[in-house]
Structure 1
Amino acid sequence: MGELRADWRLRLRREDAHGPVCGAGVLVDQYTALTCAHVVRRPDAVMWLEFAENSALEPVSARVLPGGWLPERADGEDVAVLRLDSPRPQARRALLDPGLWGGMEVYTTGYAEGFDGGVSLWGRIGGVSGERVQLDAVIESEAVRAGFGGAAVCTRPREGSPVRVVGLVVSRRGDPVAVLPDDRRLSFSYLVPVERIAELSPVVKELIGPHAWDHGFEERLHRWFDDPDEDPVKITVVPPGSGKDRSLRQLTHRAHVVHRGGASRPDLIDHALGRIAFPASEYLAYWDWLRGAKPRPARAADCAPGRPVTVLVDGLDEEPRPGALIDILARLRVLGFRLLLVFRQEGGLGWTASRDRLLQPALLAHADLLLERLQRAEFSQAIRRGLVDSASLDSVTETADRHRAVRRLIDDVRDPQQQLTRLRALIKDLRADLSRHGPR
């Protein structure tokens, strides 16, 4: 049921990386986090942010962003917008949602004394009190306490539906130092809704807009990076300043090599060579080959990386001489490098050459590889079932044979775009049939 761990849930320390735990926070993009002003205490304070639920992520210091100090006042403010001293794109950010309604089931995770590892409490959204919203605990033992300041108030986890952050915990009963009464019906706290935080902070407002992110694009890119069976060359259009652009920025770190359009091509070659296993004495031979000055080294194919290496070209159409860059990328394809090619506008400089020289040959070869795997998988399955004999030998790879006939017809298609369309359909069918034969 929903996510169990979340990168975006932050544990905050004051003074230094080993200082006392003082509250919680929320990572809203790779540079920005939210917490309460009363947790930070001073606008010039340095806070340490820990990814309590993902030990692979290094803690990072953070400071209040200019314009991000929104201390507690009568109108309900108690927010600090923090800027990380170094970005954490590897962390999955929180999904912010301005939607709130009475009776909504929510939960929050804080770091109360004795619970440095975190403890989660459940409740319901109650009424409003000025700009704050009441958070009702089901029982007194689940009332918010010290250490929950800045904690995310989240929607109920549901399978297939990502958890969304609807606000920040700011106080208990509206008075952080008050002792809870014996009357359990008064066990409640307050939160500042995401919608109110967006009104106070232009940075947050920009992050919750309907076009702030492209979630579908993010999921497709995650899938492409995760699965080597995805297309070995991917071309996408990312308009500058769009939600898709912001989503790309969040995922750039996943590429092994990143080249910006117009940057130094020798630097690209250097970084790529760092991913190839070859004798040091042959460095110049590979360097000259990749830049197009010498023939391909005899053993180049044997030096391909053991695991696929991904090259992201960000803004290929911003390259002054895209032909020279495409030549280098085509040679990297010989070594099995996967390519993610980002254009800033459809049909931009280098578009047709990238399609014809990189994408089309890569998909043709990939379809052939999947065909061979499907044929082997079908044949192995037939052997396990005892179906292979002289009478059935021709039919045990029937599915692969049918796809191979489609593959031969694709070679006769002269229109490049139509050929790509048919290739993608074939590859999709091959993946589906391979999945029925289990893991590779």
Structure 2
Amino acid sequence: DRVGGGDGMYNEFDTCNNRFLYNESQFGPISRLDLWTGNRKGIRYDDPDMRYNWNAPIVVSAHDCDVIYHAGNKVMRSSFRGESWEVISEDLTKADPATLTTGKGGDGNIQYATITSLDESPLKSGLLWVGTDDGNVQVTQDDGLSWALLNDNIPNNPEYWVSRVEASHHDLGTAYVSYTGYRRDDFRPFVYKTTDFGESWTDISSNLPAGPINVIREHHTNPDLLFVGTEFQVWVSIDGGGNWTSMKLDMPTSPVHDMKIHPRENDLVVATHGRGIYITDISSLVELTPEVLAKDAHFFEPEPKVRWVSPDLTNYSSSNFNGESEPEGVAMYYYLSGEASDSVTFTVYQNSLPVSDIKGPADAGIHRVLWNMEKRIERSAAEQDRLREGGGRGGRGGGRGGRGGPPRDNIRYAYSSAPVGQYTVIMSVDGQEQEQDITILKDEWWMDRR
């Protein structure tokens, strides 16, 4: 369904029950859509002198779903889902008069001296970080009663367009800021971290190559796991920004404009400019600590898998858009520090009975294998004999899919869907074994989708 007009900018849900969606188009016309009733209401703060960025930030408080923030060149706060507003800051930009004239952004087509990024700490209500298009970085620890300008504390500060501020999920005083020099023909990466509310900053660009940075994200359970999106691809660090590794893989070269980490699924959702959305499972990276890297092999904890009910329904929207679905089956990730002498095997057990075997690559690195959630059941000797005889007569090539019976390598076993419940998996590599549990969950949402 259509949620707004214009070019489409920020879309933020309330944090209680996803009833309200806050949407805006260019330059700040924010509206509130009630997804229960379909009612839409414009809730933009009425001030003709307010300057809004093309993408004016919206934040729904993680501490009170009725509280929302919106930003122009000042920060506005509503305690009533946008029914009324209060301004909680002065002009947080440089407001250079040279940039506020006709044709240079002030009252021309594109406004300048605006807030480009706004974030509230998930740990403390009213701890807000702000970045602007003219290079200011500011913080308030008291919901706007006082603000601190942090520019002079950032080493080699380019004071370019602030592409993102990110409050830490783990420490009150920790935050991240990235700048983009794209508009100045400066493609150097600029990304910094503070642990003391902005009193001091560390450059964590490290080995990042040339490429303007558009977004940085910190994982919500592992403070050392960071992601940045540049004009070209996604990069990951497992040591808090000490070193970065490309995550491009089969993604096209494309500007990465935003990223979200799904808190339940442990998926990284990447929004590109012009090439759609990409999603990847990062659960193994969350567990990839220095202790794991020091081991010869490691079997990561598999995530629970829902056995989805998939009715045969016609969906005409797929003729216009057809995204790739997640892999069918339970994903199992493992790490090898070096090449194993033999293939890596996984045996799935239901209680103490082996029901499936999977083989995986033996070369160094992180690998994924899939269990298709099928279990084998050994047939009786009489049934196997019957199938051998019937398979030979009926299809002369059961292995080619003939109707006479199953292929000969399937005569010993019958296969069926594994029921919901708990399973045990043992990974064997070079004579060593590691064990993990797998949970197959029931599709509790099936009736809601009918």
TM range (shorter): under 0.3
Query: TM-score, normalization: structure 2?
Result: 0.22
Counting helix residues as a fraction of each chain, which structure ranks higher?
1
Which structure would you say has the larger RCO, counting Cα contacts within 8 Å and 6 or more residues apart?
1
Counting strand residues as a fraction of each chain, which structure ranks higher?
2
